[in-house]
Structure 1
Amino acid sequence: MNIELFIQRAEALHKQLADLYQTASVLPWIPPDLLPQAFKELYSNSKMVQLAAEELYQQNEELLQTRTQLEAERLHYYNLFEFAPDAYFVTNSEGVIQEANLAAAKLLNTTKQTLFGQSMINFIRIEERESFRSEITQLFQSDRGKELVLRLQPDDGEPFDAALTVAVVRNQHGKPTSLRWLLRQINQHHLNDLGLINREEYLSQDRPIYTYTKGEDIPLNPLVIFYICQGLVKLNTFCETGEEILVGLATPQMVFGSSMTSLPIYQATALSDVKLVSIHLTEVALNPILSNILSPKINQRLKQTESLLVIFGKRRVEDRLYHLLQFLKQEIGEPVAEGTRLNLRFTHEEIASACCTTRVTITRLIGKLQQQGVISFDSKKHMIVREC
């Protein structure tokens, strides 16, 4: 039964009970004090069901609106992936290609359909394959990405030097599930540059640093990408009712900007004291090294948006809250003896907004999770999420 039909039936039932109750109340041969108590309670409960149905309908409408907005955001980031100027791959943990964008197929002189199911190592020269396997094995033992310079052999084409960036994606138990690959053809000049620079320092050097205090809105420029040197930034939009919708949480070494979204309303707010540098899109287009460094960071935002889309797609509020806590644990969590401590304090109102529900509901569910031992709070009221 859909929500609209449920509401219609609840309203019809309530009207019938109201009419029946009114009729019984005015009949002269039935004393008011003899009206059955059960009938009165039934009428009262019918009214509560009607109110609950209306609230459920409103929350469902807000949830559908949120999903529509996030789907538009996901499609925008998908297009950034598909039509990115650099080659991008997604493989399983064995290196077998599962996804590739148009630039990847063009660079390797083949089609996207032909790439699917092939191993990345097939495009690496035989002389370099052993060292390549060794590098990937080391990657699985670290939480940091690996940057390599290799000579690749495309299908029926000339070998070329390439800068390869690869990172591991792990599940909640820390087991590798997939790999993300960024590939860019480089000439000898770029080859020398990539070997000398520190990528994070490269983004901030010789650029002015902008500071914002906690709670301050960050002005956005459609021609600029912001790189976070320090602090946390909340990215959100607003639905037609004026309620806030979380679309991202930018942490240090991540990027954000209004040019990276198709949402008509897009707001960035400092969740802590923040230091940023701005990078003009013209510079990105003209500087291949800068583009090479920023591409995986933009893809990181795509993955985060997809994670939030999955969370908002959960039908039950309990599931949305649980997965939101797992998301926060991954993004801003710090290991402690009791579990994983969230480095920021969130109000129940903020969590309710992110879960598309009410503050009262979140307060009740958080209390329940505390009783179950799933979460706790330290002396500074920071939430600690336990392993489960």
Structure 2
Amino acid sequence: MNLETKYWHLHNHKLFNVLNSAELKEICLITNFKTAKKGEIIYFSHDESNRVYTLKRGTIKIVEIDEKGNEVVKDILQTGDLFGQFTLTNQALDEYAVAVSDYVTCCSFKLDDFERVIERNPALALQYTKWIGFRLKRMENRYANLVFKDVRARLNGFLADWASKEGTNHAHEIILKNYLTHQDIASLICSTRQTVTQLFNELKEKNILDYSRTEIIIKNLAALN
């Protein structure tokens, strides 16, 4: 990918909008880009533990391998989000990122290169700190939900949040492209696949939503709040 294309990809990214043209061109020199189609793995922590990633286009899910070797969905990330070694510390991670939208584009930086750029650009360092704060705040909210909400409320909140971010309004209904299995959703809300399936069926019986393997149709968003 040439520098002009890299510049086009990065110039409107929220993380880098504090940089001037010359500084952004410097970033382009240390940037690598990756693309993936739905279902393809775009990042392995073991292979690329020294890189910071930003998601330029599309949606991915972060999957962690637990102590028993099970795959657990940790997070769903969308355009603009950070992943990989985003804390700039030497973490021992066992996770990977897989594309769940039709097309995904992300850019990456070697950890050492990115640290040097941040040291020379205080505005970028501040912007990066804010992004980390948003990520930690999101994690904090998830833990708070575990403590203060039951699984039904967690599922309803998850669906309402998903609808607000990705839903398409059509004839007083909200349509979601369904790229998550019930097991994925169970991992995200700390429940079991059986419980999630049961709750989905209850919501369907109450005519709050309908669902298939390809889409979720929310008929009564207010009932989820």
Q: Secondary structure at the match of 2:197?
A: helix
Q: Secondary structure at the match of 2:74?
A: strand
Matched residues in 2 for 1:203 and 1:338: separation?
A: 48
The answer for the alignment partner of 2:34 in structure 1 is 210
The change in CA–CA distance for 1:368 and 1:229 in structure 2 (over 3 A counts) is same
Identify the structure with the greater helix proportion.
1
Bigger relative contact order, structure 1 or 2 (CA pairs below 8 A, ≥6 apart): 2
Letter in 1 for 2:106: L
Q: Residue 263 of structure 1: CA displacement?
A: 6.2
The change in CA–CA distance for 1:196 and 1:354 in structure 2 (over 3 A counts) is closer
Matched, 1:306 2:140: yes
Matched residues in 2 for 1:203 and 1:376: separation?
A: 49
Q: Residue 251 of structure 1: CA displacement?
A: 0.6
Matched, 1:252 2:82: no
Letter in 1 for 2:184: E
Matched, 1:231 2:58: yes
Identify the structure with the greater strand proportion.
2
Matched residues in 2 for 1:334 and 1:268: separation?
A: 25
Larger Rg: 1
Matched, 1:297 2:127: no
Matched residues in 1 for 2:148 and 2:189: separation?
A: 9
Identity of aligned residues (%): 23
The answer for the alignment partner of 1:274 in structure 2 is 104
Q: Residue 271 of structure 1: CA displacement?
A: 1.5
The change in CA–CA distance for 1:293 and 1:355 in structure 2 (over 3 A counts) is closer
Q: Residue 312 of structure 1: CA displacement?
A: 3.3
The change in CA–CA distance for 1:344 and 1:209 in structure 2 (over 3 A counts) is farther
Matched residues in 2 for 1:232 and 1:203: separation?
A: 27
- 1:197-236 CA-partner distances (Å, limit 9, x unpaired): 5x9x879855332112222221343332111111112123
The change in CA–CA distance for 1:243 and 1:318 in structure 2 (over 3 A counts) is farther
The answer for the alignment partner of 1:86 in structure 2 is none
Q: Residue 369 of structure 1: CA displacement?
A: 0.4
CA contact (8 A) 1:318 1:365 kept: yes
Structure 1 segment 334-345 matched on structure 2, within 5 A: 334-345=168-179
Structure 1 segment 121-270 matched on structure 2, within 5 A: 194=18, 205=28, 207-217=31-41, 218-220=43-45, 221-260=48-87, 262=91, 264-270=93-99
Q: Secondary structure at the match of 1:319?
A: helix
Where do 5+ consecutive residues of structure 2 fail to align? Answer: 1-13
Matched, 1:365 2:199: yes
TM-score by length of 2: 0.68
The change in CA–CA distance for 1:332 and 1:325 in structure 2 (over 3 A counts) is same
Letter in 2 for 1:250: L
TM-score by length of 1: 0.43
RMSD: 3.4
Matched residues in 2 for 1:350 and 1:299: separation?
A: 25
Q: Residue 257 of structure 1: CA displacement?
A: 1.5
Q: Structure 1: which 4+ aligned runs deviate by more than 4 Å? A: 193-197, 201-206
